[in-house]
Structure 1
Amino acid sequence: MKKILFTVFGLLLSVAVMFAQQQTGTIVGVTQHIDSKERLPFVNLLLKGTSWGTSSDANGEFTLTRIPVGRYVLVASAVGHRTVEQSVTVSQDKVTNVIISLENESVQLNEIMVYGASLKKERITEAPAAISVVEGKGLQRTASTGQLPKLIENQPGVDLVQSGLYDFNLNTRGFNSSLNRRVLILLDGRDLGTAFLSSTEWNGMSTPLEDLGRVEMVRGPGSALYGANAYNGVLNITSLPPKSMLGTKITAGVGELNMFRGDIRHAGQFDHFSYKINIGGISAETFSKTRTTSITGNRYQDIYNAATSGEFQNRINNNQKFEYDGFTALNNEVAELRDAPVKQFYISGRIDHDYEDGGTTTVEAGITQVENEVIVTGIGRVQVQRARRPFARLSYSNYGINVNLWTQSRINMAPEVSLSTGLDLVQDANITQGEMQYNHLFFDNRLFVVVGASHRLISIDTKNTLMLGKRNDNTSGIFGQAEFRFASELKAVVAARYDRSSLHESFFSPKAALVFSPLSNHTFRATYNKAFQSPNYSELYLHVNHPYRGFTTFFGAATTGLAYRGNSSLKVEKIEGYEIGYNGVLENTLFLTVDLYYNRLKDFISDLGAGFDPNQPSPWIISRKSYLTGADTSFSHAVWSYKNVGKVDEYGYEIGVNYFVTEELVVDANYSYFQFEIDKKSLTPAEVSQIQPNSPRWKTNVGITYQHKEKFDVSVKLKYVPSYFWSAGVFAGQIKAYAIVNLSGGYQVNDHLSLNMNISNLLDRKHYEIFGGSVLGRRGVLTATYSF
């Protein structure tokens, strides 16, 4: 396989060199205000339909070199200004001079640009996928919470549930779960998932949310471009470059739950280099509560002590303090929450080198320490006492070549605590990945082609707390996409990717799409996708014994306990999707999106359940030596594991509306409907019961936003979710309907000082969004930012 990968990379480099030697020319220009003629710095410039672009410097000047001969459309965009398109012609070995004039921003709904759907910048109305974007003031209004998923909470089709302060599960189009990973989360191309669980540790970022440039939520299968776990969608996040935030910024915040926040960032520029460094932290109490009374600080070893075993039995059976009805004995906890606030400390730095011809090299690194968050998992709640998340990234982009190399680790500085068992858990791991892409235009810019390859190395050691032994694995993939524009109104997209792994069988992911625009600003599309989700290490290799589930007396008769086991025979979970969609702009005041989908899920991986271990389908005997040295006294344990179960059909639709009453006032609303059917052939009743979508039949969001051009903005959002059933591992129960109102806004006091307010759950409606999760209430945050 290594030979194949080296061959692929060699071919990509050869193709890049070949096209670098073709007939080219240069574009030189300036960006200025249309009225005052004052130079405008840091304007983004892109040759439409290509990946060639740059930005003007501090003097409003820019250069694009080695551009293939031909006719192009140069797109210029900047925050606070209307996007401009200008035709340019590039001649061989000649310089084309242009002047780009921009006017102040007005409402232009068709000018929102996206990247994640096609790996190139394009208008949102031309993207071959259902996609939502949050950027600018819409992003800044929510950034003060420090909770990244909140940025897209009210977008069409988004299933977002919360427990505690940072325990979020993000999904689209059904089958959410605790530790959900069916949406791939990328920050500047770096996968934010952890190695053992593949889910995202949302407070593990070392970049404050205010430094993010845009967040794109691409809904629907996406493995043809992104590989494993782009199953129900991709959350593509990009951070702002240092040159767009020159100067120093100091942010301080306070809020409910005894929240305190501080952040300092400095960015500078010299010659073709720009840099930034930031350091900060957040501390707050959590919504999570302890569920057992205080009896002793001892843990599971004490069940083998005659003096304390009865004490543990009393704790298990009679001392539970659940926040709401529906819990069972499976949800009992024996360890208490650590009585300390949830904390996040981070520091990071970044250096960019911008080439005169438009390319960029980026080097960045950072580290985050997280403390005391409580996570709902399939084997019960787990508290992260203290863990560190270091990372480093090197990227290069120029001449159609994009290289992204990154590495990240997760290190437990103190073990995590399983609250249901009292056991210490460890997730020490490292992920290192390299990816290279090359893109080029053919046939007078009508054909856009991108090809690429990636390789990932994974090393993980749980110190025998979650799985036995250490593992070193690797995955790799090659992919390509071609987009051909038959006419200005019609384009077709085909893509395919091949992934192989030492963890699972290889998988081929194709994609095809047609995008038709019969009228200006009105687009119809039809899309076909195949994607897959790989089983994570927990599903494959979990090895945890519940040390005292079912004990009655000290060394008494054997009673039924629990053993949680992975299933190394699991196949990848597959999805095949069909989608049609429409988006359009009416009178430049109404932006409408309609998306309909039908998906078939195959080899669906069940949640943790009883009797699913193919090697141990019924209760069996585990020696006490499995988890404690000493006499070989055995106790009967029921085995809980995972299994590929049958087929599921799901279908639904999403409707979104943004209506601009005026340029300052906008009303938005969306409605999502979801339904599913289980193919019950060859499934037992127990297996059928394990397949729960963990999503409501429908949900809706309504909002209104006022944005003054200079001074302030305010937004109110209403989210309503009807009642539905939730089942994930040991937790199963009814989620009651809830409606929450969120209020956010900002005020620019002067050129240096700005204030931001964000209140989640304004009316303090007590509710829970994950069965087994915390009861959530209001959380208000106020921040002040001083820039100079």
Structure 2
Amino acid sequence: MIKKILLLVCIAFSSIAMVAQTTVTGTVKDANTGDLLPGANIKISNKAVGTTTDFDGEFVLKVSETPPFTIEVSMLGYKTEKIEITKNNQKVEANLTENETSLDEIVVSASRTPERIMESPVTVERMDARAIKNTTAPSFYDGLENLKGVDVNANSLTFKSVNTRGFATFANTRFMQLVDGMDNSSPALNFAIGNLLGMSELDVNTVELLPGASSALYGANAFNGIMFMTSRSPFNDQGISFSYKYGITSQDAAGDNNFHDVSIRMAYAFSEKFAAKATLSYLKGTEWFATDYRNTRNGEYAVGDRSVNDYDGLNVYGDEVAVDLGGAVGRVSRTGYEERDLMKDYEAKSVKLNTALHYRPFGDDRLELIFNSKFGVGNTIYQGANRYNIRDFYLAQQKLELRGKNFFVRGYVTTEDAGNSYDSRFAAININRRWKSDQDWFTQYAGTYLVTGSHVAARAAADTGRLIPGTPAYQAAFDEVTADPSLVTGSRFQDQTKLYHSDVNYNFQELIDWAEFQIGGSYRLYSLNSNGSIFTDFDGPIDYDEYGVYTQMQKKFLEDDRLKFTASVRYDKAQNFDGNFSPRVSLAYAAGENKNDNFRASFQKGFRNPTTQDQYIGLDAGAAILVGSAPDNLDRYTSSPLNVSTAGQPFVGGPTTTLSGRLAYENSFSATSVQNGTPTASNSPLVKPEEVTAFELGYRGLVTAGESRITIDLSGYYNIYNDFISGKNVLVPFYGTVGDNSLSLLALQNGDFKAFQTYTNTTADITSYGASIGLNTKVLNGFDLGVNYTYAKFDFDQASDPDFEAGFNTPEHKVKLQFGHTNLFENFGFNINARWQNEFLWESTFLDATVDARTVIDAQINYTIPSLKSVIKLGGANLTGQEYFSAPGVGAIGSQYYLSWTINN
């Protein structure tokens, strides 16, 4: 089907022409310098008909329209000029004024209606095609890290997680990403795909990012922030564009490796009514090797290296299997395998195809029907409770959308397939068990130690027959284990989960003139289908749904509409939970002669529904069994514990060999209390939505100091959280009732228990607060200078809930600097970005540890070749070569150098 669409597009490109009746000619110049501007866009207002200026800044526009009509002349970085055409063969001269600041940029995300970023009622960060051209990062998605208040955490080379205002994880379920209105998240694994299978850089129109709660308009999961990526319309941006990027990644552990990034975009308006586009991207490289072999225990770094008998290396897997052999032997762990031996070739790959058909029945933008189809497949590494090799991961989205000036109706379906993905930890555990069972291995170890008194000799004896990486026997076992979906014997993920989503929005601006009213709603249906390998869906897919409705009123007051009042409220209901109301109220006041001093204040509530995994997971992750707390999930998960001690006695209500998810919530000890020697009941209530109450003050304005014009963006926020969702570790005894002070305590003493992770809410009081300031100006006769600072902090009383880990995972201080010039001399520009952040604590199910402070410097130079419609860019990321970790357990991030050639973009 895709090949047929592309073939039709290519044939149409070469065969369709328009009949012209009116000719308009002219030139486009820079109003300040008088320089001719090649590549400026000229189009009829509200139509897709248009052309661009040539290398001499001249254009010829032939259209079927008869005068009078209006044309719009625009170019990135300049203000749009409208010119009235009153006769045929009219000659015009357009003089475009450069936007010296970003205050006149138009954003849509803050209020679901176009408005100057200056007048936005909440904080907005923005990136457009001009910023993408100037970014120093290897990709536009990496370049988001240079925006004020934005954190980007790198799982791997191709999988990066965007976050704002704290509580970051690699899954980052508190932050939403929308690509052309579609949720860019895995419906089963719950992580935002990032740009692994997202948007091609050639097709990016704008990126808008709202830090903080946005549930009042966007519903569940727009909790910490939301990012909107919009693509270019084939009506407005036509032609064929091509980009090729070649580079090298350099890391001590992995050495120097090549990467290639190729993209092509084709777009054409066949007529005023019909247009189409197709974008294809391919990226291939080598992941950052994860080689942190420090010993760990109880989720933290521990004393001892590989020579200790109970070694559990961070990026060594299989050594989590450990037994206390008692006496002089002590606790012993099996010999594990390094991650580099479990990730095949560490190949990073991404293939993306995006096609879209656009139909305008009236020949203008009053009404447009869009069918969008996206397909992607890729390899990457994801870090959650374990490290997962995501191989041949497939995601497809199909969207049908009808939109007009005042409304849109859209529906889309997301389909994913985990492909050949697998859990590296279970791959190591079950490779070990294929050549020797745990019982045999530990028996041989203990027997040899009792004879020799040497741990070295005991390990060597127990490792007799061990499969060695690189040998055919190891490879055969590896292939079998990674193809086996049972975590008892294998490590493969199975997943064919689907998500169905629909949205509707209507703006009454043409019916009501005293204020602007909007209404809207959404509906979402999950269909979980992992065949029991992730969720408790062993007997068929699990379906559940959620919906929401909202309304917003916006009214301007005072002279020149200087005061803008916005009020929104949304109601959301999920199948397993009570409904939630999310209100937002904001005021924005524009002061100054040109309304260039904007003060804003807002109050809003946000919420987040528990994820699919919070509700329906049923997964033995080795160190603990993860069981979701949806009411209908508690009895769906059962397991049979091994090695119940001979001293154990059956507990009332079932045999000693069966555990269920219900026991984790109703008959378990708090793990922390057991570690402290005072075992107490865990009392884990079933999970429910979490809520945040957010207050924000801000100022965005233009300050003139002599001949300098400085753009200032300042904001501060304070958040109060209720029912914060958390995972808690509990211990379920194989017999006895928790609180009986006899059998259950005997089970702990005999080691007859199993660790579970439950999904619940903390009762602890949690608050977070912070501020950011950004300054942008021009210095030294045209050089761009920008600097921003972000402060982020949170408070909570650990003693009130010892088992709770907040996972704030955000540095308290961040400073970012930008310096460059888009046209230092003819056709030549450059840009430099520097980022510094202090050390901070990272908490996760993988490991709790401190992330060191770091300073990162990126830079690029670019040269435009007008005769070839090309831009050549040479750049590098982390130029100092000082490797750093974005979180414990991931590969150290080294340097990345690239050379790119972009044509006709």
Class of the TM-score when normalised by the shorter of the 2 chains:
0.7 to 0.9
Amino acid at match of 1:154: N
C-alpha offsets along residues 547-577 of structure 1, whole Å, 9 cap, x if unaligned?
A: 5889xxx969699x99998989211111010
Tell whether the 8 Å contact from 2:863 to 2:871 is kept in structure 1 after alignment: yes
Are 1:400 and 2:406 counterparts?
yes
Show the counterpart of 1:119: 112
**What CA deviation, in whole Å up to 9, does each residue of 1:473-517 have, x standing for no partner?**
212111111100113211100011111112433211100000111
Distance in 2 (CA, whole Å) between partners of 1:612 and 1:522 is 60
Partner of 1:775: 892
Aligned positions of 1:600-615 closer than 5 A: 600-607=720-727, 609-610=729-730
Q: Which has the larger radius of gyration?
A: 2
- Answer yes or no: is the 8 Å Cα contact 2:39–2:75 preserved in 1: no
Of 493, 498, 523 in structure 1, the residue corresponding to residue 566 of structure 2 is: 493
SS where residue 425 of structure 1 aligns?
coil
2:865 is aligned to 749
What runs of 5+ residues in structure 1 fail to find an aligned partner? 1-27, 47-52, 64-73, 89-98, 294-312, 621-633
Q: Distance in 1 between matches of 2:756 and 2:37?
A: 72
Corresponding residue SS for 2:772: strand
Residue 673 of structure 1 is matched in structure 2 by: 791
1:434 correspondence with 2:502: yes
Quick one: percent identity of the two aligned structures?
20
The answer to whether the 8 Å contact 2:246/2:258 transfers is yes
Residue 592, structure 1, aligned to residue 712, structure 2: yes
Of the three residues 739, 754, 774, the one matched with 1:656 is 774
**Equivalent pair of 2:41/2:73 in contact (CA under 8 Å):** no
- Residue 206 to residue 132, structure 1, CA distance change in 2 (3 Å): closer
Matched, 1:390 2:396: yes
Q: How much has 1:317 moved relative to structure 2?
A: 4.9
Q: Distance in 1 between matches of 2:736 and 2:127?
A: 48
Shift of 1:275: 1.5
Partner of 1:731, secondary structure, is coil
Match of 1:12?
Answer: none
1:362 and 2:344 matched: no
Aligned partners of 1:393, 1:595: CA distance in 2, in Å?
Answer: 36
Q: Does 1:521 align with 2:596?
A: yes
Deviates more, 1:694-703 or 1:157-166: 157-166
The one-letter amino acid paired with 2:591 is P
Aligned residues: 693
**Alignment CA distance shift 1:39-1:661 (3 Å):** closer
Q: Which of 746, 762, 775 is residue 645 of structure 1 equivalent to?
A: 762
Which whole-Å CA distance do the structure 2 matches of 1:733 and 1:229 have between them? 27
Structure 1 residue aligned with 2:75, among 79, 83, 87?
Answer: 79
Partner of 2:280: 279
Deviations 1:397-425 (A, max 9, x none): 21512122211211122242243556222
Match of 1:419, SS state, is helix
Q: 1:585 is matched by which residue type in structure 2?
A: L
**How far did 1:607 drift?**
4.1
Residues 576-619 of structure 1: CA distance to partner in whole angstroms, max 9, x if unpaired? 10111000012372110110111101111124534599x99989
Asked if the contact 1:735–1:770 (Cα under 8 Å) also holds between the matched residues in 2, the reply is: yes
What amino acid does structure 1 have at the position aligned with 2:286? E
1:75 shift after superposition: 12
The answer for the alignment partner of 1:739 in structure 2 is: 855
Is 1:109 aligned with 2:139? no
SS in 1 for 2:860: strand
Among 827, 830, 854, the residue aligned to 1:711: 827
- Structure that is richer in strand per residue: 1
Which amino acid is 1:394 matched to? Answer: L
* 1:267 aligned partner: 267
Q: Show the counterpart of 1:248.
A: 240
- Residue pair 1:185, 1:200 contacting (<8 A) in 2 also: yes
Q: In 2, Cα distance between the equivalents of 1:385 and 1:616?
A: 44
Task: Write out per-residue CA displacement over residues 214-245 of structure 1, whole angstroms, 9 at most, x where no aligned residue.
Answer: 11111121001000111111111111112344
Do the aligned partners of residues 438 and 181 (structure 1) sit closer, same or farther apart at CA in structure 2, a change above 3 Å counting? same
Residues in 1 aligned to 2:169 and 2:407: alpha-carbon distance in whole angstroms: 38
Q: In structure 1, the residue corresponding to 2:879 is in which secondary structure? A: coil
Matched residue type, 1:435? D
Which aligned pairs between 1:612-651 and structure 2 lie closer than 5 A? 636-646=753-763, 647-651=765-769
Q: 1:106 to 1:489 in 2, by over 3 A?
A: closer
Give the Cα separation in 2 of the matches to 1:512 and 1:365.
37
Q: How far did residue 428 of structure 1 move? A: 2.0
Structure 2 gaps of 5+ residues are: 1-21, 52-60, 85-91, 249-256, 295-305, 323-332, 431-490, 626-641, 649-656, 666-683, 741-750
Counterpart mapping for 1:133-144 below 5 A = 133-142=126-135
Q: In 2 relative to 1, CA 388–103 (structure 1 residues): closer, same or farther, beyond 3 Å?
A: same
Work out the CA distance in 1 between the residues paired with 2:26 and 2:580: 50
Partner SS for 2:848: strand
- Counterpart of 1:698 in structure 2 is 813
Return 657-666 or 31-40, whichever deviates more: 31-40
Residue identity in the other structure for 1:369: V
The answer (yes or no) to whether the contact 2:180–2:229 under 8 Å persists in 1 is: yes
Say if 1:32 and 1:38, in contact at 8 Å, map to a contact too.
no
- Per the TM alignment, residue 264 of structure 1 is displaced from its structure 2 partner at its CA by 2.5
| Alignment match of 2:176 (pick from 171, 177, 184) | 184
The answer to whether 1:157 aligns with 2:149 is: yes
> In structure 1, what is the equivalent of residue 636 of structure 2?
none
Q: Is the 8 A contact 1:563 1:640 kept in 2?
A: no
Residue 541 of structure 1, CA deviation? 2.1
- Partners of 1:750 and 1:108 in 2: CA distance: 26
Task: Give 1:383 shift.
Answer: 1.1
| 1:663-717 CA-partner distances (Å, limit 9, x unpaired) | 7421111111122221568x23233xx1241111111111112101862322111
Contact 1:619 1:636 in 2 (8 A): no
Indicate the larger mover: 660-669 or 387-396. Answer: 660-669
For residues 345 and 38 of structure 2, the distance between their equivalents in structure 1, rounded to whole angstroms, comes to 56
Report 1:89-108 matches (<5 A): 103-108=96-101
Q: Which moved more, 1:658-667 or 1:492-501?
A: 658-667
CA distance in 2, matches of 1:386, 1:84: 44
Residues 75 and 189 of structure 1: CA distance in aligned 2, closer, same or farther (over 3 Å):
farther
SS in structure 2 opposite 1:491?
Answer: strand
Residues 82-113 of structure 1 show CA distances to partners (whole Å, capped at 9, x for unaligned) of 3258899xxxxxxxxxx995515352432111
- Is 2:532 the counterpart of 1:540? no
SS at match of 1:109: coil
CA separation in 2, counterparts of 1:320 and 1:78? 58
Equivalent residues in 2 for 1:191-202, closer than 5 Å = 191-202=183-194
| TM-score (normalizing by structure 2) | 0.69
Contact 1:528 1:578 in 2 (8 A): yes
Structure 1 residues 695 and 106: alpha-carbon distance in aligned structure 2, compared to 1, 3 A threshold: closer
1:197–1:536 Cα contact (<8 Å) kept? no
Structure 2 SS opposite 1:464: coil
- Give 1:183 shift: 1.7
CA distance in 1, matches of 2:37, 2:833: 39
Q: Aligned equivalents of 1:328 and 1:111: distance in 2?
A: 60
Identify which range, 409-418 or 123-132, moves more after superposition. 409-418
- CA–CA distance in structure 1, aligned partners of residues 234 and 753 of structure 2: 60
- Mapping for residues 111-510 of structure 1, pairs under 5 Å: 111-142=104-135, 145-146=138-139, 148=141, 150-205=142-197, 207-256=199-248, 257-272=257-272, 273-289=274-290, 317=310, 320=313, 322=315, 336-354=342-360, 355-359=362-366, 360-371=368-379, 373-377=380-384, 379-419=385-425, 423-441=491-509, 445-469=513-537, 470-487=541-558, 488-510=561-583
Alpha-carbon distance between aligned partners in 1 of 2:392 and 2:605, rounded to the nearest angstrom: 39
For the 8 Å contact 1:612–1:642, the answer to whether it is kept is: no
Q: Distance in 2 between matches of 1:513 and 1:29?
A: 48
Q: Give per-residue Cα distances to partners, 1:169-199, cap 9 Å, x unaligned.
A: 3221121123112221011111101112332
For residue 10 of structure 1, what is the aligned residue in structure 2?
none
Amino acid at match of 1:347: L
Give me the whole-angstrom Cα distance separating, in 1, the residues matched to 2:245 and 2:119: 40
| Counterparts of 1:723 and 1:694, CA distance in 2 | 10
